[in-house]
Chain A
Amino acid sequence: QQQVKQSPQSLIVQKGGISIINCAYENTAFDYFPWYQQFPGKGPALLIAIRPDVSEKKEGRFTISFNKSAKQFSLHIMDSQPGDSATYFCAASLAVGNEKLTFGTGTRLTIIP
């Protein structure tokens, strides 16, 4: 069963624009929500992460927005650049005991000039 739903599957954004990727989760016991970035031929790499005690976290051009009541979180990439073209995965893990990450299905982001 899909515990973390991610959309869209693919996204094309013009250079300088804002890229937005959304995720929704079902299990209210999840308490850690990271985003991973993957370039072709490489493994995913941790980009940014958030805990549910804050509604937003910003690192440079990357921002996570978190809505606990709606069980949704999103990644915003400001001033998107061609180098941001990659596949992005959201993920979630439980608070206690089981620390495994459950990943979304991924979003292929393409930034066009």
Chain B
Amino acid sequence: NAGVTQTPKFQVLKTGQSMTLQCAQDMNHNSMYWYRQDPGMGLRLIYYSASEGTTDKGEVPNGYNVSRLNKREFSLRLESAAPSQTSVYFCASSSRPRANYGYTFGSGTRLTVV
């Protein structure tokens, strides 16, 4: 089982460019999440999808959009990249109803905006 797969693993963007980070899970999980990880700031929630067809903002949603394409896939889009969005992005999934089933994280996308 692959678990949570993120693509790409690395990306360099110029300021103002757009891109979509892809995430797919094969565990039949209902809930999916996008986090960003920055030094000294831990993991901060960008957006999440409690179930297929629903999405909600997290702690730091500005500059991002998401799409829950189906139960397996949850993408994160940067419409106009800014240097402040340089970060490592993690996708995660979990089964309902509670977080105490544990999150399964992907291996991350390291994004640099120049």
Contact = CB atoms under 8 A, between A and B. Distances in A.
Indicate whether A and B interact.
yes
Interface of A: 6, 9, 32, 34, 36, 41-46, 49, 51, 89, 93, 99-106
Interface string B18-52: 00000000000001010100001111110010100
A38 to B, nearest CB: 8
A9 B33 CA distance: 25
Interface residues of B, number: 27
Contacts, number: 62
Interface of B: 4, 31, 33, 35, 40-45, 48, 50, 58, 90, 92, 94, 96-100, 102-103, 105-108
Given A43-B90, A43-B92, A103 B102 contact: no
A46 B101 CA distance: 10
A99 B42 contact: no
B107 A43 contact: yes
Contact of B108 (A43, A49, A106): A43
A103 B48 contact: no
Given A99-B31, A99-B99, A44 B105 contact: yes
